[in-house]
Amino acid sequence: MKIGIIGATGKAGRALYAEATKRGHEVTGIVRDPDRAGSILGTDATVLVKDAFDLTADDLTAFDVVIDAFSTPPARAYLHVDLAARLVSLLRETQTPRLVFIVGAGSLTTGEDHRLLVEDLRRLAEAGTFIATPENQLKELQFLRGVDDVNWVAVSPSRTFVPGAATGFVTGKDDLLFAPDGSSQVTTGTMAVAILNEIENPKHVRERFTVRDE
């Protein structure tokens, strides 16, 4: 399949790029900095050098799937919402490309009262340094849940999302997942495998799922 990855040089994006390439897909990194892309994805990587906000409908419909693995500093975390809204706006009343959004674990629910994890995160001493990101990714998911005329899926990692190779994994829907030892972790490699599985064999249409390492 033709897969475009926004944010292909980021933490999640580079693992997705590697996994999709390994599986033989035609993968394009949508990047702003071609030199950075060359050093991270390899100088033979296929790239579309463009700010994600400048993508046109024609750019998007050249792909079967576009993965939004965009990242930005917390001070401009509203860009998560704005980019999702823009991609959706360009693709209203279509089925292709499928849009895959990575939305942080903060938008998952947890505990017996099914509170949002972001509520717990807000109480951390260092919340001010990062909280805008999970808050805006929650808004992004809430926005997506109102979109019924575009083929989207959202994926949340577990609470800890670290670079690393794929392991076996477990998926869930909207509740934060924990391993039997109480940890809640997923590697970028596992996320990439779970997302590529979903791309090749769609099971979640216009909903969010979550993944943890086994």
Q: Residue 189: in which H helix or E strand, if any? A: helix 188-200
Q: Which of 3, 45, 65, 88 binds its own copies (CB under 8 A)?
A: 88
- Number of residues binding to its own copies, judged by CB under 8 A: 15
Q: Which of 56, 89, 160, 183 binds its own copies (CB under 8 A)?
A: 89
**Pairing status of strand 109-110 against strand 115-116:** antiparallel
Q: Verify binding: residue 142, its own copies, rule CB under 8 A.
A: yes
Nearer to its own copies, 24 or 146 (CB): 146
Nearer to its own copies, 3 or 88 (CB): 88
Nearest in space to 210 (alpha carbons), one of 165, 135, 160: 160
**Smallest separation (angstroms) from its own copies to the CB of 89:** 4
Residue type, 120: D
6 to 45: interface string for its own copies, x by CB under 8 A: ----------------------------------------
For 86, the token pair is 């823009």
Q: What does R_g of the chain's alpha carbons equal in angstroms?
A: 16
Report how far apart, in Å, the C-alpha atoms of 101 and of each of 43, 49, 68, 129, 154 are. Answer: 26, 20, 5, 23, 5
* Alpha carbon distance 102, 79 (integer Å): 13
For 194, the token pair is 């779970």
Q: Which of 23, 94, 143, 207 binds its own copies (CB under 8 A)?
A: 143
Q: Which of 82, 120, 174, 207 binds its own copies (CB under 8 A)?
A: 82
**Site of interaction with its own copies (CB under 8 A):** 76, 78, 81-82, 85-86, 88-89, 92, 139, 142-143, 146-147, 149
